[in-house]
Chain A
Amino acid sequence: MRANRRLVYAVVSSGLAIVFALLVSAVILAVSGNNPFEAYGQMFEYGVRVDSLASAVNRAVPLYFSAMAVALGFKMGLFNIGVEGQYRIAVLIAAAVGAAIALPGPLHVLAIILTAMAVGAAWSGFAGYLKVKRGVHEVISTIMLNYVATGMGAFLLANWLRQENPPGDLVIKTPEIPESGRLPSLNQVLEWVGLDPGRVNLYGMAVLAVVAGFGFHVLINHTRFGFELRASGASAGAARTAGIDPGRMVVLTMVISGAIAGLVGMAHLLGFFHRYTIDFPTMLGFTGIAVALLGRNHPAGMAAGALLFGWFDRATQILDLRGIPKEIVFILQGVILLSVVVAYAVVEVRIRAAESRAVTGALRPGAEEES
């Protein structure tokens, strides 16, 4: 009964928050001299095309991994802001490794993915180590490690990992990963069901994202580690009293979170770029924080949030062509996030009160109150 109530509240409040955000953005559009109805109409028309939907999924996949990496930390009260740095250093090194080794098909891909996870885990685990051994707050260390990752990545790319470009090619990049180290697109599958995504290639990583989502659910809700993680987040004192070692949990959580963060760049790397270049997408780690908040750290909620953000990202591409600033998407995302967070806080209070009343109501008169 309670699970359902929570679900209904979550869906309704998110829905209202999105409507509210659309209204606010509409006002901003109108104030800046654009017709909001026209803008939204364009976005919708363009956004429901098959190629746009496939592209939206492609954009959602990295955000989903990023959100799960953040959410895992959130579950025990750790704020891993370092997903940004973790995935960027991970994808760089994985790209370089992928181009340097030669393995048969699936193994090659697996090696690249595992490399990325290991690098992400190490980068994030270092922040966990600092917290436990040196008392450095993870917010500070992960933010700082983002800068270190950016700087170190640029250095490694420029000096050691770049390919020798032919004269005239000024883009700094790692060598290309051979065919065996690429993940096929899912367009074939779409064609079987009669959909044609045109020039967009639906990333194969989408499958892994779905699997990871289920894995996340199992890990959090059905394993001892997940229980210890949630217990530590819910009450550090109670967890410690129950024999859960807080230091071990911090390091372990940061390591797993970092490993998931390592997967963030894989969709773009294995499905499109096949190399790391200086124009590889950035900011996916930070947007992941937003998606985790939006999805309440729940695998299904975060999937919905990632798809929503991915869709907005794609759908607003059309606005530029119509002379409407597509930056409206950032306003939209920002307002959605703010209103959802506020809505959740309000709803949580209501839910708790409702739960108390439900229990009181189910018991005999006079057996309530007092503690």
Chain B
Amino acid sequence: MSLAIELVGITKRYPGVIANDRINLAVREGEIHAVVGENGAGKSTLMKILYGMIPPDEGEIRIRGEATTMSSARDAIEAGIGMVHQHFMLAEQMTVLENVILGAEPRQGLKINFEEARRRIVEISGEGALDADQMVEELSVGEKQRVEIAKVLFRGAQILILDEPTAVLVPQEVEELFVSLRELRKRGVTIIFISHKLDEVLEIADSITVIRAGRTVATADPRQISTRELAELMVGAELPTAETRQSTVTDQVLLQAEGVGTLSEDGDRWVIEDISLRIHRGQVLGIAGVEGNGQRELVDILMGLRPADSGRVLLGGEDITGMSTLRRREAGIGLIPADRHGRGLLLVSPLWENAMLGYQSQPPFTRGWLVDGVGARRRTEDVVDQFDVRTPGVEVKIHALSGGNQQKLLVGKEMLATPQVLLASHPTRGIDVGAQAAVWESIRAARAEGLGVLLISADLDELIGLSDTLMVILRGRLVATLDPGQVTPAELGSYMTGASQ
């Protein structure tokens, strides 16, 4: 079979670092080719090069055997390469049809030829796969992804790059995605599939390229390799697991919600409704759910960032429903926010100020009204050391760190503050396998010391592995309580989408 894409000796250097070091990649026409690697292995750089966003310093890109230089995404699109980003770029207030044709409208004179557009969308995505007139904001995450793929195909792409496409999906949606990817393969579309979820890679890929520390370390045949072997190729060492074994749960209730609910902004609808839960000393309570089902609002109510329109919140038996966020923090509730950039970090501030954020009323960061520069820096250095934050120092502005290292700082500062209760939203999002293990380990250790954790995560293995109890949130309500020792990711997924009701 002929090659759709061949990358030969691609090298990309940044001052002091080689992001891609003589990478080779050969993708056959009409196959699904997975590119796997840890965070920071150089996948993103490689894909940006392939998509024309950054030029390589050395090496050659051959598209269908022809050496090609691309200097922008436009060139890539012209060469028939399309990319579906992890974060969707859709206009929520427009219809599917409008989103798909936006910027590539078929015309008839000066008018947009909607009939032609409609016909081609059906041709691309199959009869009945997408309702062209539906508003994008009404779509599920999986459907939105299909719109993104249709957008790319509409522009004539024959080679599709999918950047971590399953990260945002629940298992059922992943299955649907795979069905449509196989359909596309049948039609001769070449697909490059970037992921670090290895079981999925083994399921869908025809061949695999493993990248580690900027180099191609192996190409593998998915029929002849196990998940574990693949993971070891990827990490270059043995694997951690999320599993928590013996229980440390006590009967002492730390944080308790009693029938809490909150209304939407216009007040006509409960965003979350009648939620009751108890976090015990030494317990990890996992909340499973598709993003946007009320997780954020739940955390906000527990943290005092959003008023409870019904019910009450108790900490150690004391009613704290009306208590300010700062007082709650001082009382020992820690928070790892889901939205790192929007709610967790001061990007242009040094690491030590970021570590202080949320603890600005407590030692060692401040003494009365004065900032304790020495104590704050020393504490931050401890976080950096213990949580392996890769940084030249604590004076560095945090925007200069990679996302994974930013996350490690966020987690580490909460752990070192030894809260009673930790509200952790996606604590290991964006960090690599090794660091993930360290975070899990620290949560486990703190749990053994009596920490109560509310764990919200999109990583079902993490949820199942770490939690003592699992609850499922769906459309703002807790709909099931499950035993993580019994449930499988697939079952959990069906509860999350409401299929099990």
Q: A residues within 8 Å of B by Cβ?
A: 2, 221-228, 230-231, 234-235, 237-245, 352, 355-371
Contact partners of B390 in chain A: CB under 8 A? 363-364, 367
State whether the Cβ of B337 lies closer than 8 Å to any Cβ in chain A: yes
Q: B residues within 8 Å of A by Cβ?
A: 14-19, 21, 39-45, 212-214, 303, 305, 324-329, 335, 337, 339, 342-349, 353, 356-358, 360-361, 366, 368-371, 373, 390-392, 395-397, 399-404, 406, 430
A363 to B396, CA, bound (A): 13
Contact partners of B399 in chain A: CB under 8 A? 352, 355-356
Contact partners of A241 in chain B: CB under 8 A? 303, 305, 325, 335, 337, 343-344, 358
B251 vs chain A, min Cβ distance (A): 30
Q: Are A222 and B371 in contact (CB under 8 A)?
A: yes
B37 vs chain A, min Cβ distance (A): 9
Complex A-B: 16 CB contacts under 8 Å: A222-B371, A224-B370, A227-B366, A230-B349, A231-B346, A238-B344, A243-B328, A245-B325, A358-B392, A358-B400, A361-B15, A362-B16, A362-B391, A365-B17, A368-B17, A368-B19
Which of B326, B392, B404 is the one whose CB lies under 8 Å from A244?
Answer: B326
Contact partners of B404 in chain A: CB under 8 A? 370-371
Q: Are A366 and B40 in contact (CB under 8 A)?
A: yes
Q: Are B402 and A371 in contact (CB under 8 A)?
A: yes
Known pairs A358-B400, A360-B15; A366 contacts B42 (CB<8 A):
yes
Contact partners of B326 in chain A: CB under 8 A? 242-245
A296 to B377, CA, bound (A): 26
Q: Are B370 and A223 in contact (CB under 8 A)?
A: yes
Known pairs A224-B361, A227-B360, A242-B357; A370 contacts B40 (CB<8 A):
yes
Q: Is the interface of A mostly helix, strand, loop or mixed?
A: helix
A263 to B368, CA, bound (A): 28
Known pairs A241-B305, A366-B19, A370-B39; A2 contacts B370 (CB<8 A):
no
3 closest A-B pairs by beta carbon, nearest first, are: A361-B16, A371-B403, A243-B326
Known pairs A222-B373, A235-B342; A368 contacts B358 (CB<8 A):
no
Contact partners of B15 in chain A: CB under 8 A? 357, 360-361
Q: Are A2 and B402 in contact (CB under 8 A)?
A: no
A12 to B353, CA, bound (A): 28
Contact partners of B305 in chain A: CB under 8 A? 240-241
Q: Which residue of A has the minimal Cβ distance to B403?
A: A371
Contact partners of B430 in chain A: CB under 8 A? 371
A240 to B360, CA, bound (A): 12
Known pairs A358-B392, A359-B396; A227 contacts B358 (CB<8 A):
no
Further pairs besides A224-B369, A368-B17: 7, Cβ < 8 Å: A243-B324, A352-B348, A352-B400, A356-B399, A359-B400, A366-B42, A367-B40
A218 vs chain B, min Cβ distance (A): 9
Contact partners of B369 in chain A: CB under 8 A? 223-225
A245 vs chain B, min Cβ distance (A): 7
Contact partners of A224 in chain B: CB under 8 A? 360-361, 366, 368-371
A227 to B349, CA, bound (A): 10
Which of A245, A358, A368, A370 is the one whose CB lies under 8 Å from B43?
Answer: A370
Q: Are A243 and B344 in contact (CB under 8 A)?
A: no
Which has the most chain A C-beta neighbours within 10 Å: B16, B45, B353, B358?
B16
Q: Which residue of B has the minimal Cβ distance to A362?
A: B392
Q: Which residue of B has the minimal Cβ distance to A348?
A: B348
Q: Are A234 and B347 in contact (CB under 8 A)?
A: yes
Contact partners of B402 in chain A: CB under 8 A? 367-371
Which has the most chain B C-beta neighbours within 10 Å: A227, A228, A364?
A227
Q: Which residue of A has the minimal Cβ distance to B405?
A: A367
Q: Are B357 and A231 in contact (CB under 8 A)?
A: yes
A361 to B399, CA, bound (A): 15
B46 vs chain A, min Cβ distance (A): 10
Which has the most chain A C-beta neighbours within 10 Å: B303, B366, B400?
B400
Q: Which residue of B has the minimal Cβ distance to A351?
A: B397
Known pairs A358-B400, A365-B17; A227 contacts B353 (CB<8 A):
yes
A222 to B366, CA, bound (A): 9
A45 to B477, CA, bound (A): 78
Q: Are B42 and A369 in contact (CB under 8 A)?
A: yes
Contact partners of A363 in chain B: CB under 8 A? 16-17, 390-392
Known pairs A361-B15, A361-B16; A234 contacts B403 (CB<8 A):
no
Contact partners of A361 in chain B: CB under 8 A? 14-17
Q: Are B45 and A369 in contact (CB under 8 A)?
A: yes
Q: Are A360 and B14 in contact (CB under 8 A)?
A: yes
A352 to B14, CA, bound (A): 15
Q: Which residue of B has the minimal Cβ distance to A371?
A: B403
B427 vs chain A, min Cβ distance (A): 15
Q: Are A365 and B214 in contact (CB under 8 A)?
A: yes
Q: Are B346 and A235 in contact (CB under 8 A)?
A: yes
Q: Are A355 and B43 in contact (CB under 8 A)?
A: no
Q: Are A243 and B358 in contact (CB under 8 A)?
A: yes
A360 to B344, CA, bound (A): 22
A199 to B305, CA, bound (A): 61
A359 to B21, CA, bound (A): 20
B370 vs chain A, min Cβ distance (A): 6
Contact partners of A360 in chain B: CB under 8 A? 14-17, 400
A365 vs chain B, min Cβ distance (A): 5
